[in-house]
């Protein structure tokens, strides 16, 4: 497609911002809107994996993410508060052989900064209310502080989250299932932490887990299926302040197609899954960058075929991992506590395991 193709992006989170950056650096002039007035104030998604670092490198965002974030070099697994095994990112045969932990709020700000340098800005306090499409284009109604206005576009990208208005307007099914148990998280500052701060930690008991992801030195996130997770930390861990708490349920859902006519879905608008493995935001960024490339190539009809199988694969993987951690019968405990530590002594097994965490088990982006 030519650079004068008009493109509206609904959603100013990491996925919509990535679509805008990738399109703008290719010469397009997208319009990006968000009904909020600023980037998300919470840390939300933290993990930026190797695939995302690959994807954002041509735009110059990767260097900034690495500079500001905290490198996570592996994961420590505990049983009865004793270490049973480690996953080490150094086994990954890739120059980005680490995960970067950076609050989503800051990732968004870095994308916004780069987008501004490329000559595009987010239209805040602007909401897509409805749209109609035909073979000639899309007629949208936008609501802002100034009132309602009509907006004509040739393409529409719905990066508007799990409750996507774009998806609902297309009447696409979003079938799936929800885990019966609730999860909780807490972002905290720590006075003391007994483990290396460049490693995440997972403490699994019979059917309960407490996970920890560093955010910055002395600052991290606990996630658990304990409703009172702060009462189940390692004895030597001391919390100084609780910055943010939230409770949530995990669902696994995927839209039947990522494209309907001139309209496309990306990120949580197309798929939602467990946060285990840190794949959510990264998968959406892959969607957005792939779509931007396909628009440039004039091959948008390939979008669903390229992205749906990858989304389905990640959903299945995260569901399996979550259930192995939280539905731990005797056999699952035997696998994790006895078999897995032995297997992870084999470098090839380590490489396979960390390649999934890094997002590198899926096809390499064809434009890189």
DSSP string, 173-231: ---EEEEEEEEEEEEEEEEE-SS-TTEEEEEE-SS-EEEEEEEETTEEEEEESSTTGGG
Q: Which residue has the higher pLDDT, 226 or 52?
A: 52
Q: Is the pLDDT reported for residue 130 higher than 80?
A: yes
Buried/exposed 225-247: b ≥16 CB within 10 Å, e otherwise: bbeebbeebbeebebeeeeeeee
CA-CA distance, 302 to 290, in Å (whole number)?
10
Cβ–Cβ contacts within 10 Å for residue 199, how many? 18
Could you tell me the two tokens for 240?
A: 């100084």
Do 153 and 6 touch, CB atoms closer than 8 A?
yes
What are the tens digits of pLDDT across the range 67-122?
999 999 999 998 877 888 999 999 999 999 999 999 999 999 999 999 999 999 99
CA-CA distance, 263 to 19, in Å (whole number)?
14
What are the tens digits of pLDDT across the range 165-212?
999 999 999 999 998 888 999 999 998 898 999 999 998 876 788 999
CA dihedral 322, 327, 333, 334 (to 10 degrees): -90
What is the percent of the chain where pLDDT is above 70? 98
What are the tens digits of pLDDT across the range 215-236?
988 999 999 998 888 888 877 8
Domain ranges of the chain: 7-70+101-177+251-357
| Three-state helix/strand/coil letters over 316-362 | HHHHHHHHHHHCCCHHHHHHHHHHHHHHCCCHHHHHHHHHHHCCCCC
CATH 3.50.50.60 fits 7-70+101-177+251-357, yes or no: yes
Distance of CA 206 to the CA centre of its chain: 28
Give pLDDT, residue 329. Answer: 65
How much is the mean pLDDT over the chain? Answer: 93
Q: pTM (2 decimals)? A: 0.94
Nearest to 167, CA basis, from 28, 271, 43, 285: 271
**Longest Cα separation, the chain:** 64
């Amino acid at each position: 497609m030519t650079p004068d193709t008009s493109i509206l992006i609904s959603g100013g989170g990491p996925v919509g911002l990535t679509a805008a950056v990738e399109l703008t650096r290719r010469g397009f002039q997208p319009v990006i809107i968000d009904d909020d007035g600023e980037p998300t104030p919470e840390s939300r998604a933290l993990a930026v994996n190797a695939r995302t670092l690959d994807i954002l490198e041509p735009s110059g965002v990767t260097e900034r993410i690495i500079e500001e974030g905290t490198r996570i070099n592996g994961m420590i697994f505990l049983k009865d508060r004793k270490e049973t095994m480690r996953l080490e990112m150094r086994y990954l045969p890739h120059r980005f052989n680490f995960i970067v932990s950076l609050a989503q709020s800051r990732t968004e700000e870095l994308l916004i900064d780069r987008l501004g340098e490329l000559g595009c800005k987010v239209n805040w306090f602007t909401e897509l209310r409805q749209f109609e499409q035909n073979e000639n284009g899309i007629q949208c109604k936008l609501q802002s502080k100034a009132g309602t206005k009509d907006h004509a576009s040739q393409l529409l990208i719905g990066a508007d989250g799990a409750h996507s208005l774009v998806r609902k307007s297309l009447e696409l099914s979003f079938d799936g299932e929800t885990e019966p148990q609730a999860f909780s998280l807490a972002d905290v500052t720590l006075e003391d932490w007994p483990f290396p701060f460049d490693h995440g930690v997972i403490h699994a008991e019979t059917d309960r887990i407490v996970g920890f992801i560093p955010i910055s030195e002395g600052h991290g996130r606990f996630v658990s299926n304990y409703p009172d997770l702060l009462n189940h930390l390692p004895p030597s861990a001391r919390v100084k302040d609780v910055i943010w708490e939230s409770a949530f349920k995990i669902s696994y859902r995927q839209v039947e197609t990522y494209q309907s006519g001139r309209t496309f879905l990306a990120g949580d608008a197309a798929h939602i899954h467990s946060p285990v493995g840190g794949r959510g935001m990264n998968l959406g960024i892959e969607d957005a960058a792939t779509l931007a490339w396909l628009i440039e190539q004039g091959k948008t009809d390939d979008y669903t075929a390229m992205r749906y199988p990858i989304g389905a694969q990640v959903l299945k993987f995260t569901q399996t991992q979550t259930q192995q951690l939280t539905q731990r019968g005797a056999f699952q405990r035997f696998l994790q506590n006895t078999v897995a530590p032995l297997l992870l002594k084999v470098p090839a097994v380590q490489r396979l395991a960390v390649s999934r965490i890094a997002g590198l088990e899926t096809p390499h982006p064809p434009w890189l």
